[in-house]
Structure 1
């Protein structure tokens, strides 16, 4: 399955420019209308002074948090996305290239201390790479640190393909023709997500299910804290 993990990175390397454009132009209605505010509100509940944004992409979340006075570090495996994030200069936050499988060692090389909160906002797409993130989290957070994950809601995202863990074919449906070669992604049931947190000593303390004006579920945000 390592080939499928590599295809995820390959996809984002090919689509840096169109992705950056749609994010900066606010061209994804679900994000603009629901999920961006949802993750910012979820983070704000914990009033962190330092946040690690894992899979930060072109850096929008770090910029928003910095505007609110939060110290941020955004990491991503795609150098071109980090280059886009760094374009904003002072006040945009700190950014670094770091693969998920090298999170702990990568941040140690950057001489970064532990964070009060880590967040993955629609950035956990793989199988083994996601396991690597969860393995690193306890070493990246302060003792009472918080880990937030926003992802597609499994009940909605199963897409009639059966409610069971497994790799799914990606799609750029709803995006323009400039987007190429959609990435595969690994589907997890809600119980599998909970088990992933439990196995890595993270206690789920809150589940948030953002909806749009019609009541349609747009995502799920899982909030967890380091367990004793």
Structure 2
């Protein structure tokens, strides 16, 4: 049985799999929060930071976009495959470092602080906010921005969700994620010291399609 079917990091190794080790890097010409290219706001949500931390960077496109604009970026991912690919594509980008680490462990041990911490369909979706939010607050500079996006919640189904990462065959692999209404996210952030909170669902270009939860706070 493959590594990806046995371990949680292995599960994320298979996200946007790199089938060709010599495949070229994709174009980086926008900063995308949603699953629909060109839809919604760009990096302006982050309020022109000088430093930023990407929690769950995947292939790293948004981190590269910011670094090319002069932002000092640490791009974090739990998956060694994602980090290795990002380094192969963009490891020589000035001001950008890719780090293989768990989000909470990194935030709990680093001494660095940031003007912006963000998660695009990443760690903020798959980490208990009661653990993550206090750690994020400690690592933000005064006035710093915390922003994240993920799929809009299913109507009537809010809170902790569990699913089998391997589907319904093979070894059990539990993937955990947290999905709340915008109002509930705002309440969670307020309890952990954030303010100027905006939490909403951005409709898809076709209103019948799945929208994007957008959350931003200071």
TM-score by length of 1: 0.70
- Equivalent position of 2:101 in the other structure: 98
Q: How far off its partner does 1:146 sit?
A: 0.9
8 Å CA contact 1:33–1:212 kept in 2: the answer is no
Q: How far off its partner does 1:60 sit?
A: 0.9
Q: Which runs of 5+ in 1 are unaligned?
A: 1-5, 174-180
Give matches, 1:126-141, under 5 Å: 126-128=126-128, 130-141=129-140
Structure 1 CA distance for aligned equivalents of residues 52 and 140 of structure 2: 9
- Is 1:89–2:91 an aligned residue pair? yes
Partner SS for 2:189:
helix
Q: 1:49 to 1:19 in 2, by over 3 A?
A: farther
Structure 2 CA distance for aligned equivalents of residues 152 and 172 of structure 1: 20
Structure 2 CA distance for aligned equivalents of residues 126 and 30 of structure 1: 17
- Equivalent position of 1:194 in the other structure: 186
- Equivalent position of 1:13 in the other structure: 13
8 Å CA contact 2:125–2:179 kept in 1: the answer is no
- Equivalent position of 1:205 in the other structure: 197
Structure 2 CA distance for aligned equivalents of residues 147 and 182 of structure 1: 30
Q: How far off its partner does 1:220 sit?
A: 1.9
Q: How far off its partner does 1:143 sit?
A: 1.4
* CA RMSD, Structure 1 to Structure 2 (Å): 3.4
Give matches, 1:133-212, under 5 Å: 133-154=132-153, 158=154, 162-169=156-163, 184-190=175-181, 191-212=183-204
Q: 1:42 to 1:182 in 2, by over 3 A?
A: farther
Partner SS for 1:202:
coil
Q: 1:183 to 1:165 in 2, by over 3 A?
A: same
TM-score by length of 2: 0.73
Q: Which runs of 5+ in 2 are unaligned?
A: 1-5, 29-33
Structure 1 CA distance for aligned equivalents of residues 126 and 206 of structure 2: 30
Q: How far off its partner does 1:207 sit?
A: 3.2
Structure 1 CA distance for aligned equivalents of residues 200 and 43 of structure 2: 12
Q: Which has the higher helix share?
A: 1
Structure 1 CA distance for aligned equivalents of residues 43 and 173 of structure 2: 27
Partner SS for 2:197:
strand
Q: How far off its partner does 1:171 sit?
A: 7.9
Q: How far off its partner does 1:172 sit?
A: 9.9
Structure 1 CA distance for aligned equivalents of residues 213 and 16 of structure 2: 25
8 Å CA contact 2:158–2:180 kept in 1: the answer is yes
Q: How far off its partner does 1:65 sit?
A: 0.8
